[in-house]
Amino acid sequence: MTSSDQLTGKTAIVTGAGSGIGRAIAIRFAAAGARVAVLGRTPTAAQDTVQTIEAAGGRAALVVCDVSNQAIVFDAFRVVAANLGPVDILVNSAGIAHVGTIEQTTEEDLDRLYAVNVKGVYNCLKAAIGAMKGRGGAILNIASVASSVGLADRFAYSMTKGAVLTMTYSVARDYIGEKIRCNCVSPARIHTPFVDGLLAKNYPGSEREMFEQLARTQPIGRMGRPEEVAELALFLCSDAAAFITGSNYAIDGGFVTLKMS
């Protein structure tokens, strides 16, 4: 883990920071000097992220939070402000997956994905905007290549990630005068426990085969690493990206632009 001072003096909230991309971003931000609020629904996983940060000399605080519940989210932001200071950076990384066409997607499936992937982002955006107005800040939403291209058997997931992308554009436009930047990164397949769980649930007995198949869908020939997404996130949330807002960055091994070449 490379240290730097790009975020020194800033307070960052990272949702879904108990594992995968969110965890990697929280650890990288702490190494760059930020005070990091690790938001997660599972205390054990989120606490492990906090301990990793503290062991490396960083400052972090665990806040158990269900992002789908607005009252809980607003309470979490107040706890963060009281313990780490007003939020300067928000990363919306919490999300859940689903495999299936529209025919295979139940109403319960749709509601479950909407609650976390769309309403959860909305709740955190709403809380962050209230805290950042008059001060400025940086917001980064984690979307997906599914926001921009059609993926087979990802009806509900693609719907939610498309919403994340368009929420990014709206917030960037509405609050540019408040010096609040809002950007989005859209990963392709990143090897995380999220992916491992999806394969175990949907392709039991064929996990290895499906992993290799999914890895090959990136023209670069492999899945990405959470740490690679974290480096892009650090840049976009730092003052080095002060001229960037309302942008969507694919981090996808060439998936979107090179797949049909």
CB–CB of 242/248 below 8 Å? Answer: no
- Is 169 one of the catalytic residues? no
For 245, residues 6+ apart whose C-beta sits below 8 A from its C-beta are: 172, 176, 181, 182, 183
Of 114, 122, 157, 175, catalytic? 157
d(CA 207, CA 102) in angstroms, rounded, equals 24
**Alpha-carbon separation of residue 71 from 18, 65, 68, 139, 199 (angstroms):** 21, 10, 9, 20, 33
Q: Where are the beta strands (DSSP E) in 41-110?
A: 59-64, 89-92
Tell me the residue type at 113: L
d(CA 201, CA 253) in angstroms, rounded, equals 25
The CA-based dihedral angle spanning residues 100, 104, 107, 112, taken in that order and rounded to the nearest 10 degrees: -30
Q: Which residues belong to the active site?
A: 157
